[in-house]
Amino acid sequence: MASTHVAHVFLWFSLAWLAAVSQHASAQEDTQTDPSATEQTDHIIVSEAETFSVEVVSEGAEVPWALAFLPDGTALLGEREAGRLSFLNVETGERRIIDGLPDMLRNGSVSSGLFDVRVHPQYTENGWIYIAYGVGEETKNGLAVDRIRIEDERVSARENLFNSTPRISGKWHFGGRLVLSGGYLFISTGDGYDHSVLSQSLEAHAGKILRLHDDGRVPDDNPFVGTEGALPEIWSYGVRNPQGMTVHPDTGEPWLNEHGPQGGDEVNIARAGENYGWPVITYGEEYGGGPIGDGITHHEGMTQPRYYWVPSIAPSGAAFYTGTAFPGWRGNLFSGSLAFTHINRLVVEDNRILHEERLLADRGWRVRFVEPAPDGSLYFGVDDGMIMRLVPTN
């Protein structure tokens, strides 16, 4: 088990949730920046490593959950609440709806709909686009993953690759993030909120990271293939609700963030057979206070997080930045924050998280995803329906 370098974020709350933030890290590691340290002058924002401005690309989306770029620079925008996939012209903001998506669970009381959208790395040769979405009904639901082809703003081909089992009753925690790496498709699934015990069960898909070939076949070398009673798609387990997942640009490994309960959000690297401990170990507590289970943070055979937050920031869609527009951010891990309404920047070196910075914390935007564009700008979407981008300024 790789050694980990975790950092604590302690926050003293006032009744109005005004906070001062400090980070406890190892003596060799840096400290988190107070969000108030970010400077803004006439719409130019000066952060620790870069200077940038914010541009609005499009408005009016219904919980924009994912953005993926096609080789021609057009973006695919996924809206969870609407269950809608569109072409987004990033120059004009125009959205063109794509027809023919599969039926999906869309219910105002259930946090379901269209989740992630990813483009195959060899899209120009095969035309495949991958989507994750909720299926079923409130009392019996799950996660499905398809790959589709699109012609003339309509789905022209569709293959169902995955359906979670068992179906469970619940309103939250579907997971629903996808990444493609090395010919494999990785899928994150949540624990269904009221079914946390399933995260430790190899007989259920809930609370897992799954690995398939990109055509949906189960790889023979998945860690639980041949294990009696175990579902063969399972790659790693013991997670709660991973709403961010991305691929490390150097190692090709999936990195994920997940929502803890009250405190205890985590960053982990998804590795074969590893158990990340939920709900046996956690740095969080029950909503309203009190321990979860035995109230422990370590247990033999369970992997410690690479990083965790107390209190929870509610991390969302994640991406490593590899562009050239912001050289000071290269190799950094970005994600959104729903609870503390900011873009989170983590400095990563040799699989260790050394430093955290919080951007745009004063805007009040519940950030759902962060996605680098081919031109190096950094796009993000917020619950209010706006798609925006960070662009460099000199």
For position 323, what pLDDT does the model report? 97
For position 108, what pLDDT does the model report? 81
How far is it, in rounded angstroms, from Cα 119 to Cα 45? 32
Cα–Cα separations (whole angstroms), residue 19 to 176, 234, 325: 31, 39, 32
Amino acid at 123: Y
For position 107, what pLDDT does the model report? 84
- Does the pLDDT value for residue 37 go beyond 80? no
For position 111, what pLDDT does the model report? 93
Tokens 């680098």 label which residue?
372
Contact 134, 165 (CB under 8 A): no
Average pLDDT rounded to a whole number, residues 350-376 = 98
- Does the pLDDT value for residue 2 go beyond 60? no
Residue count of the chain: 394
Burial label for 91, CB within 10 Å (0-12, 13-18, 19+), is: exposed
Cα–Cα separations (whole angstroms), residue 319 to 44, 191, 344, 346: 23, 23, 11, 11
How far is it, in rounded angstroms, from Cα 380 to Cα 370? 4
Per DSSP, 99 falls in state: B
How far is it, in rounded angstroms, from Cα 284 to Cα 266? 10
Across the chain, which distance is largest between two alpha carbons, in Å? 63
How far is it, in rounded angstroms, from Cα 390 to Cα 375? 11
Portion of the chain with pLDDT greater than 90, in percent:
87
CB burial string 61-77: b at 16+ within 10 A, e below: bebbbbbbbeeeeebbb
Residue closest to 372 by CA, chosen among 340, 329, 337, 341: 329
Contact 79, 62 (CB under 8 A): yes
Contact 47, 359 (CB under 8 A): yes
pLDDT level of residue 164 (50, 70, 90 thresholds):
very high
How far is it, in rounded angstroms, from Cα 184 to Cα 130? 12
Average pLDDT rounded to a whole number, residues 248-270 = 98
**How do residues 62-117 score in pLDDT, each as one tens digit?**
999 999 999 999 999 999 999 999 999 999 999 999 999 999 999 888 999 999 99
For position 361, what pLDDT does the model report? 97
Average pLDDT rounded to a whole number, residues 258-286 = 98
- Does the pLDDT value for residue 390 go beyond 60? yes
Return the CATH fold of 8-392. Answer: Neuraminidase (2.120.10)
* Average pLDDT along the chain: 91
How far is it, in rounded angstroms, from Cα 236 to Cα 238? 7
- Does the pLDDT value for residue 14 go beyond 80? no
| DSSP structure string for 310-338 | SS---EEEEEE---SS-GGGTT-EEEEET
Cα–Cα separations (whole angstroms), residue 329 to 89, 115, 141, 357: 26, 27, 39, 11
For position 123, what pLDDT does the model report? 98
CB burial string 360-376: b at 16+ within 10 A, e below: bbeeebbbbbbbbbeeb
Element of type H or E holding 5:
none
Which residues are catalytically annotated? 173
For position 228, what pLDDT does the model report? 97
- Does the pLDDT value for residue 350 go beyond 90? yes
Contact 158, 128 (CB under 8 A): no
Per DSSP, 104 falls in state: -
Average pLDDT rounded to a whole number, residues 168-186 = 96
pTM: 0.90
Contact 388, 55 (CB under 8 A): yes
Average pLDDT rounded to a whole number, residues 386-392 = 98
Burial label for 92, CB within 10 Å (0-12, 13-18, 19+), is: exposed
Average pLDDT rounded to a whole number, residues 244-263 = 98
Contacts of 64 (CB under 8 A, 6+ apart): 77, 78, 79, 80, 368, 369, 381, 382, 385, 386, 387
Q: Which of 22-26, 120-124, 199-203 has the lowest mean pLDDT?
A: 22-26
pLDDT level of residue 42 (50, 70, 90 thresholds):
low
Portion of the chain with pLDDT greater than 70, in percent:
89
Cα–Cα separations (whole angstroms), residue 21 to 34, 131, 196, 347: 6, 37, 30, 18
- Other CB atoms within a 10 A radius of the CB of residue 389 amount to 20
